[in-house]
Structure formats: C-alpha cells, structure tokens
Amino acid sequence: MLTFTPHDDVTEVRADIMVGRRSIYHVSAFLFDGTLFDSGPPRTGRALAQWAQTQTIQQIANTHHHEDHIGGNPFVPVPAFAPAWTVAYLADPPRIPLYRRLVWGQPRPGAATPLGETLSSAHHTLHVIPTPGQAHDHVAFWLPERGWLFSGDLFIATRARYIRPEDDLPAWLASLRRVLAYDFDTLFCAHAGRVTDAHAAIRRKIAFWEELGQQTRELAGQGYDEAAISRQLLGRDNFLTWWSRGNFSKRNLIHALLAGQA
C-alpha cells in the first residue's frame, strides 16, 4: 500500500507492507525536483508505476541495493543512478531469502548508471556522500542550498534496536559521525520520514549506541550472556525477529556492540 505525503516541494512515497490491517513494515522514497530517491520494494512496484504516470519523474537515484529501496526501479521507465555495487546487483539480483521475498517481493533486474560525485536534478546539484554501514554500498544525497540530506537507511531511528548480522556497526557509526561535518538541518529518511533538527537527531542516535555499548560491556563483565543483556537493556524481540529467523534482532545489536565494534 502506498501513501503520499507532501513536505513542501518534496513528496514522501511511503510503502506499507500489510498483513490484514496491520502494517508490519514501512519504507519511504522521496520525489523532489524530478528525481525519485529510492523506489520502494518490488511488492508496491505496480502501484508506484501507476502513480509515476501522474508525476514528472526524470530519474531515479538509489541510496543502496536493499530490495526495499530498489524494488520499484524496473516499474518506472526512467534512467536510474546508483552506487556502482548497486548497479551490478540490480543487473542480476540474486534470489533473496524466503522471508524477505514474502515481505518485500523478489527484485526484478533493472538497468542503472553508476553515480559520480554529484547528481544533477532538474534545477539542483546534489553531492553524493558515501555512508557505508547499514549497507556497504550506501550513499546519501546532500543538497547544500536547502540544507537537506536524502539519507536512505543511514538514520532510521534515534533508538534503532534491530540490526542484521551483516550490518557493519563501526562503519555505520563512522558514517553518522562523518556526515555531521556537512551543513544540513533536515533528513529525508526512509523510515522516519522528514526529520528536522537533523544534526541533533544524529548526535542522539550516536549517543544511544555509545551508551548502550558501555552498558553492554558492563553487564558482560558481570557474566551476563548476550541474550540476557539484550532482554535486560532492550526488552523482547518483535514479530520481525521471529519471522526473519533472527536476521533482524536486538541481540544482533548487542553482539555487534560486544564484539568491541562500537
């Protein structure tokens, strides 16, 4: 299910994956100045195509290769630009695990051109900033004259508690610290939507993980194992953890923190 929310001259395109009346997952793409930043999951590709016919969309710019960010590309017949690794992935997407196929759908092949250091939209030039971590190929798009960052999955939430084993937490934290060197006050985030006072939000996120790392190490020092630490500091896992057979879990975060990685 797609819903469209205007934020001044940006349109947020939010895809909700519904089980009955319940949304189990959502992800947003953004349309600005003729550029669609990410394209949602394969499952909402047809709805995206219908909506796209009513819009002026000149190009797609992808932040990274995860299927909930590239899945709509083949449904919108415009040029796409993506990180080099994403381009190769898009050309021949591997079969993704069953639980992800059921939630988001299997990505179809699509063509894209590797991003350079900048991306030109109809009236603006955006800077492409490498921000690896949640995905190794992740980039964000910075628009200095507006003070905006189209940030894909870089931010997600201040208190992000679910990560995947393949997420690189130290790289992710380094990317969060690095983007603070850029001048912006608004994030367009795939999960939190429009985030204002963005530097403060990113600093709170960094502090949350740093403090959690400290508490985790303290409890480990007292002999608690990862499962016990996770329950004590973060509470129980949710539906997605069960559904993904532990791929999305709080325990993964505790494990990454304990590995001394952050």
167 versus 226: smaller Cβ distance to Zn ion: 167
CB of 220 to Zn ion, least distance (A): 28
What does the DSSP assignment read for the chain?
-EEEEEETTEEEEEEEEEETTEEEEEEEEEEETTEEE----GGGHHHHHHHHTTS---EEE-S---HHHHTTGGGS-S-EEE-HHHHHHHHSPPPPPHHHHHHH-PPPP---EE--SEEE-SS-EEEEEE--SSSTT-EEEEETTTTEEEEETS-S-TT---B-TT--HHHHHHHHHHHTTS--SEEEETTTEEEESHHHHHHHHHHHHHHHHHHHHHHHHTT--HHHHHHHHH----HHHHHTTTSSBHHHHHHHIIIII-
Give the per-residue contact string, 227-246, with Zn ion (x = CB under 5 A; - = no): --------------------
Give the per-residue contact string, 105-144, with Zn ion (x = CB under 5 A; - = no): -----------------------------x----------
- Assess 167 for contact with Zn ion (CB under 5 A): no
153 versus 237: smaller Cβ distance to Zn ion: 153
35 versus 131: smaller Cβ distance to Zn ion: 131
- Assess 153 for contact with Zn ion (CB under 5 A): yes
26 versus 66: smaller Cβ distance to Zn ion: 66
Q: If binding means CB under 5 A, how many residues of this protein chain bind Zn ion?
A: 3
124 versus 191: smaller Cβ distance to Zn ion: 191
Binding Zn ion by CB under 5 A: which of 66, 124, 161, 250? 66
Binding site residues, Zn ion, CB under 5 A? 66, 134, 153
